[in-house]
Structure 1
């Protein structure tokens, strides 16, 4: 059997190049023999790998972050390929996180293996020219711990370590293509993409890195006082000189003429009348502040947020207290 080749850019074939047929080793089909795969965002993957990458799994399914993205070269531009992924256990152990040492420890033997599944890229099959002209992203892939999942998500056991694998399959148009199936594919794996499946992040540094790196996690980021212009807090400046960062509400300085004594008296009478009128109108539907807050909190707790992404409502991001009620990051 041929030795497992090593690619210069850091990825390696996770499976033997081909199976042995009739006692003689075979070679890969020319359509896949020269295929090379480069992992995108490799530096970010390595940062997570140094901390011990964790991926959230839920009953409904959760997308991966970082997203598995690759750049492919060496394909035959005129033939069609199918791209797919699967996840295999790295070992036969179940892990637990030791908070006193901030490390993962083997706790017991692995649970019963989950059903093996393949995730096909939605653009498959496509010609090699299409795959090579742009980055291939598996952003639609979701992870779940629901053994009865019927949505096609990848089923994983929580607290187990997994290795994602990427497969390139040549679509052989010959009628006897099944006889050559072992020659028409290549499998690639990247050690830095290994992760432990969890239902909640265990390492707080992983949580912080995901918040800092995920473009959809802006609402979880706390404002840095050093971001203000002049390195001073906005309260120490007048509204006319404070320059807020992009996307934040900032006060506007407006010059107002000072009212006369007669105008002040008319204004007081108008305010009293408006207050008494508004009080009469509000009597049929009086709600205390505590009741309003409790009902809002109850609605928030009963609301099921989509697991695949964050809520696209800006109002949630502007309220610091809401970050405690939102679900975990993807």
Structure 2
């Protein structure tokens, strides 16, 4: 019935449009480009909870990382890939803990400076872009309006939509006249997020800990859970799990490593409980009857020589 009802209205005279200009509005190098969001299921899980992304003065990477698969490019043409972030609306929000929901708190703050983040491999030929996943893992978010590091400047407690742009590098001398034809833009609704300085929804925190490989140290203190994933702080531990006496040199080395581990834990302030809590697996060194202990510390701690950022999965 619905189909017949619709067909009755199709007899009405319709305005006639010339569709040729619309079909030819984009250059052929970008007309056929298709983009698929990687980790879409994970993005959808976050979106159902209300995705939050941390912004800091120094800049913070996104998780999930924005990654895409591209097809339909001209293999020999060169392209530039870039991203920007646009406000979803003109509202500022606050989180209501009693109802676990976001509420409108007023009009949006003054718009932050608009920026584009260019993928560091740009420009590159289409064949290069299409042969592997394109990851924007170097992109960082900041709330520092005076940022001079090229990070994406966002207002905290505002919602944003990431956008992905594919730009054809036109070699023609008058390419600037056709700039509007040489790009194609893509956005995915499941990648929307709220910019925050600390996670508000505890379920977002839990999901990020569960799905972020750099957060594995927050999930378990079982040494078997760490195999092949993160690099633990080196603590002397016999491979056969035997109990035995160590030499003076081994005792001094193990004692220094344990003290260093405790010092790092105190500095990190990630554990609100006491260092003497039974939840921790670190023990004092007994020189007479040493029982090796395993103290897993993720690669992303603030240790000298470590370049990977510490993922602040809780309040700054």
Instruction: Map residues 156-235 of structure 1 onto 2, 5 A cutoff.
Output: 156-223=154-221
Q: Distance in 2 between matches of 1:129 and 1:327?
A: 34
For 1:328, which of 300, 312, 315 is the aligned residue? 312
Residue 143 of structure 2 corresponds to which residue in structure 1? 145
Matched, 1:112 2:79: no
String of CA shifts for 1:266-315, please: whole Å, max 9, x gaps. xxxxxxxx9xxxxxxxxxxxxxxxxx99x94897269xxxxxxxxxxx95
Decide whether the 8 Å contact of 1:220 with 1:317 is kept in 2. Answer: no
Decide whether the 8 Å contact of 1:218 with 1:317 is kept in 2. Answer: no
TM-superposed deviation, 1:202: 0.2
For 1:42, which of 40, 43, 57 is the aligned residue? 40
The runs of 5 or more residues in structure 1 that have no matched partner are: 1-23, 229-243, 257-273, 275-291, 303-313
Q: Distance in 2 between matches of 1:196 and 1:250?
A: 47
Decide whether the 8 Å contact of 2:79 with 2:125 is kept in 1. Answer: yes
TM-superposed deviation, 1:252: 4.5
Q: Distance in 1 between matches of 2:225 and 2:108?
A: 49
Instruction: Map residues 301-312 of structure 1 onto 2, 5 A cutoff.
Output: none
Q: Distance in 1 between matches of 2:97 and 2:121?
A: 43
- Per the normalisation by structure 1, the TM-score is 0.65
Q: CA 1:105–1:172 in 2, change beyond 3 Å: closer, same or farther? A: same
Q: CA 1:327–1:67 in 2, change beyond 3 Å: closer, same or farther? A: closer
Q: CA 1:297–1:136 in 2, change beyond 3 Å: closer, same or farther? A: closer
Q: CA 1:42–1:255 in 2, change beyond 3 Å: closer, same or farther? A: closer
Q: Distance in 2 between matches of 1:172 and 1:142?
A: 29
Residue 272 of structure 2 corresponds to which residue in structure 1? none
TM-superposed deviation, 1:112: 0.2
Q: Distance in 1 between matches of 2:74 and 2:189?
A: 27
Aligned residues: 237
Q: Distance in 1 between matches of 2:131 and 2:264?
A: 48
Matched, 1:65 2:84: no
Residue 297 of structure 2 corresponds to which residue in structure 1? 317
Residue 286 of structure 2 corresponds to which residue in structure 1? none
For 1:133, which of 131, 135, 151 is the aligned residue? 131
Q: Distance in 2 between matches of 1:69 and 1:93?
A: 28
Decide whether the 8 Å contact of 1:159 with 1:197 is kept in 2. Answer: yes
Q: Distance in 1 between matches of 2:238 and 2:149?
A: 45
Q: Distance in 2 between matches of 1:58 and 1:175?
A: 42
- Per the normalisation by structure 2, the TM-score is 0.68
State the secondary structure of the residue aligned to 1:157: coil
TM-superposed deviation, 1:328: 1.8
Decide whether the 8 Å contact of 1:119 with 1:141 is kept in 2. Answer: yes
For 1:103, which of 101, 104, 107 is the aligned residue? 101
TM-superposed deviation, 1:254: 5.0
Q: Distance in 1 between matches of 2:226 and 2:214?
A: 17
Q: CA 1:107–1:79 in 2, change beyond 3 Å: closer, same or farther? A: same
Q: CA 1:128–1:204 in 2, change beyond 3 Å: closer, same or farther? A: same
Q: Distance in 1 between matches of 2:150 and 2:77?
A: 27
State the secondary structure of the residue aligned to 2:83: strand
State the secondary structure of the residue aligned to 1:317: coil
Q: CA 1:204–1:75 in 2, change beyond 3 Å: closer, same or farther? A: same
Q: CA 1:99–1:125 in 2, change beyond 3 Å: closer, same or farther? A: same
TM-superposed deviation, 1:329: 2.7
RMSD (Å) for aligned C-alpha atoms: 3.1
Larger radius of gyration: 1
TM-superposed deviation, 1:223: 5.0
Matched, 1:92 2:90: yes
